[in-house]
């Protein structure tokens, strides 16, 4: 049976003084946070660094968590977003990085050349399609499908209603479907 937000809220409060509770939080949230960040950066080393920074901040600030203000998933999601934004600001001041070098992971060598070309074209079309969506629609898709968050958790994080999240997600997926159908029917 899946554990709900109340369970993780209580676990977070317990984790302030209990290493085992913190370990359980880490085991649950690490893959979610890592996947969300990796989706944004498409670079293993960068995703590792940002995810590590997120959990350092969580550890340093866990005593400030208040389940009456927000759920733990919303709280850690906010830390993740702020850490990512800080990293991107730092990165933009550090050096100019080419889009393809930064956002496209290398294709494994063991794949056939035809598969590599098809995969690259599909990825390019998906990125173009995602680029046609608003920032809010893109963020909701990232949180839903890469962060494995519920509409309620997304709503809390983005200060929306769960129904609004569902509507935005439905419309965004419809837009993606229409665009990709047109592209691949050609």
Q: Give percent of the chain above pLDDT 90.
A: 13
Q: Residue 76's pLDDT is what?
A: 92
List the end-to-end C-alpha distance of the chain, in Å, as a whole number. Answer: 45
Helix/strand/coil for 31:
helix
pLDDT interval class at 88 (50, 70, 90): confident
Q: What is the pLDDT of residues 26-75, one digit of tens each?
A: 999 999 898 888 888 888 888 888 999 999 999 889 999 998 888 898 89
pTM over 0.75: no
Mean pLDDT over the full length of the chain: 80
State which H helix or E strand residue 20 sits in: helix 19-41
Decide which of 54 and 128 is more confident: 54
Q: Directed axis angle between helix 162-185 and helix 113-131, to 10°?
A: 130
Among candidates 146, 154, 141, which has minimal Cα distance to 74?
154
Alpha carbon distance 121, 124 (integer Å) = 5
């Amino acid at each position: 049976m899946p554990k709900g937000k109340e369970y993780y809220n209580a676990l977070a409060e317990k984790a302030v003084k209990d290493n085992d509770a913190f370990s359980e939080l880490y085991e649950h949230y690490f893959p979610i946070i890592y996947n969300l960040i990796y989706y944004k950066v498409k670079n293993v080393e960068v995703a590792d660094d940002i995810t590590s920074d997120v959990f350092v901040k969580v550890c340093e600030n866990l005593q400030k968590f208040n389940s009456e203000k927000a759920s733990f998933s919303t709280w850690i999601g906010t830390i993740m977003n702020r850490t990512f934004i800080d990293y991107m600001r730092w990165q933009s001041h550090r050096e100019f990085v080419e889009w393809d070098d930064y956002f496209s992971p290398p294709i494994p060598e063991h794949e056939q050349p035809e598969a590599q070309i098809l995969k690259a074209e599909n990825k390019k079309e998906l990125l173009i399609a995602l680029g046609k969506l608003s920032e809010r629609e893109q963020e909701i898709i990232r949180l839903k499908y890469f962060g494995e968050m519920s509409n309620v958790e997304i709503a809390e994080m983005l200060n929306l209603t769960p129904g609004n999240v569902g509507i935005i997600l439905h419309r965004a997926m419809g837009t993606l479907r229409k665009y990709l159908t047109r592209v691949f029917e050609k």
